[in-house]
Amino acid sequence: MTDLATVLIVDDEKHTRDGLRLSLEDDFDCYVAGNAVEAMEHLKNDQIDVMLTDLRLGEDDGMKLLEQALALPKPPVCIMMTAYGSVDTAVEAMRRGAYHFVTKPLNLDEVELLVKRALRSRHLEHENKALKQQVEQKFSIEGILGKADALKPILETIQQVAPTRATVLIEGESGTGKELVARAVHNLSGRPKAKIVTVHCAALSAQILESELFGHEKGSFTGAQERRIGRFELADGGTLFLDEIGEIDAATQVKLLRALGEQTIERVGGSKPIKVDVRVVAATNKDLAKMVEEGKFREDLYWRLRVVTIHMPPLRTRKGDIPVLADHFLKELSAANGKAFKALGEDALPQLMNYDWPGNVRELRAAIEHGVVMSNSGRIMAKHLPAYLSQPGGLGWRVPATLGGKSAPSDEATNKAPLDIHQAEKHLILEALERSGNNRSEAAELLNMSRRSLQRKLKEMGMVRKHRPRTKAPK
């Protein structure tokens, strides 16, 4: 067995057959045939990848051979050869399914290039077919779609834990779907007065967070002119979703621990304990265990929160989900943009599969949206997707090996530098800022995150206002 692709050369003139064979045999496994019968023999027995055939084969008709070849269970890619002046027939052959044609006298370099292109197209077509089959075997609950085996146990855990009162901690990188999971846990909880109340812990200062969670009595601090009901009370009978739980300050951690343990809260400035019936779901993209080790997060609270932990794996470790998600976003975003894309073009999916997605599902969604917006033809091809996806190894998202820190060779099958998530996120944010002309609201929208989260990330990255000065004076 050889790994070379197979090419069948069909021509009734011996010198053409020999010339082509000589020029192609270094790169391909070549077979030759002088007529249609011999050609069909090879096609049936030799797993031919590309057939190069003259349109006129003495007594035989190249067009008929084309049709017979294409009717085979595993048809080859067909390239037609035609005399100068009979291009019309060649075009007709393409209409019937030929890949392309070349005119005689032959330019052998051109033929070789065309054969290579034909093989690449056939490869993509096969890959695409396989990926499309994956889409058909998707599974989903509550809008969480997936195919890869990694997601299945997660969906099962959600179903199992949702109807209970257990506190759930959802961990995972940014954009992996933590909020979606939190909502699923709530929606499937079957709690009678169910509502879900969200608190973005990172966005609020310590004092505001405390009064946001537990409420305050009138006059309890300067500015507290009215009594205020906190989110715990608002969520009574339902779910409280504490997003970015790793960000809460030490004092609020203590209060939260008490609220979780005793199911009672006290408003700021109040003295009366208030009974609440709240199911808590928390999410974080931080390594909470490490924060506990470093003394930045209370260990007792950590254990209280993680009665059930759901870890959302990064998209790069469950690439089998990409076709399903891409298909879903394509339909959703086409409808939203008033376009009618039904499927991705054949070179687009392989492109998506080859990329590492540091921004996870959120980044994939943004890439598909880019494609939907950029394509005016009937299909979204690789060229309509963001350019950085096609750079070798997703160049835009990788740190050079010298900056990669301690690299774990076993971690990566390739010899690429290890992926640095923060670096990658920074690139993503920079690109969004660039595309939006440094408009943060627009950039946040492109990134499918709130403007507040974007602000916070910019702050974390030390990118606040140092990067590209704003034109408007800050308020």
Ligand X SMILES: Nc1ncnc2c1ncn2[C@@H]1O[C@H](COP(=O)(O)OP(=O)(O)OP(=O)(O)O)[C@@H](O)[C@H]1O
Residues that bind ligand X (CB under 6 A): 143-146, 172, 174-180, 285, 325, 361-362, 365, 448-449
- Locate 331 and state its tokens: 């339909």
- Phi then psi for 237, rounded to 5 degrees? 90, -5
- Mark residues 158-187: x for contact with Mg ion by CB under 5 A, - for none: ---------------------x--------
The answer for residues whose C-beta is within 8 angstroms of residue 89's C-beta and 6 or more apart is: 55, 63, 82
Angle at 107 between CA 102 and CA 110, to 5 degrees: 70
Residue 456 interaction partner, one of ligand X, Mg ion, none, beta carbon < 5-8 Å per kind = none
Residue 448 interaction partner, one of Mg ion, ligand X, none, beta carbon < 5-8 Å per kind = ligand X
Sign of CA dihedral 303, 289, 233, 191: negative
- Locate 428 and state its tokens: 């993503």
| Minimum CB distance to ligand X smaller for 183 or for 279 | 183
The least distance separating ligand X from the CB of residue 172, rounded to whole angstroms, comes to 5
Residue environment code for 91-122, b if the CB has 16+ CB neighbours within 10 A, otherwise e: eebeeeebbbbbbbebeeeebbebbeebbeeb
Nearest to 204 by CA among 467, 450, 469: 450
Long-range contacts of 452-455 (CB under 8 A, 24+ apart): 452/200, 452/203, 453/200, 453/202, 453/203, 454/429
Residue 285 interaction partner, one of Mg ion, ligand X, none, beta carbon < 5-8 Å per kind = ligand X
- Locate 207 and state its tokens: 């004092």
The least distance separating ligand X from the CB of residue 320, rounded to whole angstroms, comes to 12
The least distance separating ligand X from the CB of residue 185, rounded to whole angstroms, comes to 12
Residue 246 interaction partner, one of Mg ion, ligand X, none, beta carbon < 5-8 Å per kind = none
The least distance separating ligand X from the CB of residue 180, rounded to whole angstroms, comes to 4
The least distance separating Mg ion from the CB of residue 213, rounded to whole angstroms, comes to 18
Q: Which residue is nearest to ligand X (CB)?
A: 177
Residue 253 interaction partner, one of ligand X, Mg ion, none, beta carbon < 5-8 Å per kind = none
The least distance separating Mg ion from the CB of residue 160, rounded to whole angstroms, comes to 22
- CA gap 2, 28 in Å, rounded: 10
The least distance separating ligand X from the CB of residue 343, rounded to whole angstroms, comes to 18
The least distance separating ligand X from the CB of residue 362, rounded to whole angstroms, comes to 4
| Minimum CB distance to ligand X smaller for 119 or for 150 | 150
The least distance separating ligand X from the CB of residue 325, rounded to whole angstroms, comes to 6
| Minimum CB distance to ligand X smaller for 140 or for 160 | 140
Residue 172 interaction partner, one of ligand X, Mg ion, none, beta carbon < 5-8 Å per kind = ligand X
| Minimum CB distance to ligand X smaller for 144 or for 268 | 144
* 13 binds Mg ion per the rule CB under 5 A: no
* 203 binds Mg ion per the rule CB under 5 A: no
Give the SS3 label for residue 281: strand
The answer for residues whose C-beta is within 8 angstroms of residue 468's C-beta and 6 or more apart is: 433, 438
- CA gap 420, 131 in Å, rounded: 28
Residue 180 interaction partner, one of Mg ion, ligand X, none, beta carbon < 5-8 Å per kind = ligand X
- Locate 84 and state its tokens: 């100068």
- Locate 456 and state its tokens: 């916070």
Residue 375 interaction partner, one of ligand X, Mg ion, none, beta carbon < 5-8 Å per kind = none
The answer for residues whose C-beta is within 8 angstroms of residue 86's C-beta and 6 or more apart is: 55
Residue 128 interaction partner, one of ligand X, Mg ion, none, beta carbon < 5-8 Å per kind = none
| Minimum CB distance to ligand X smaller for 39 or for 333 | 333
| Minimum CB distance to Mg ion smaller for 112 or for 179 | 179
- CA gap 283, 304 in Å, rounded: 14
Nearest to 371 by CA among 357, 399, 352: 352
| Minimum CB distance to Mg ion smaller for 246 or for 323 | 246
| Minimum CB distance to ligand X smaller for 215 or for 246 | 246
| Minimum CB distance to ligand X smaller for 39 or for 310 | 310
- Residues in contact with Mg ion by CB under 5 A are 179
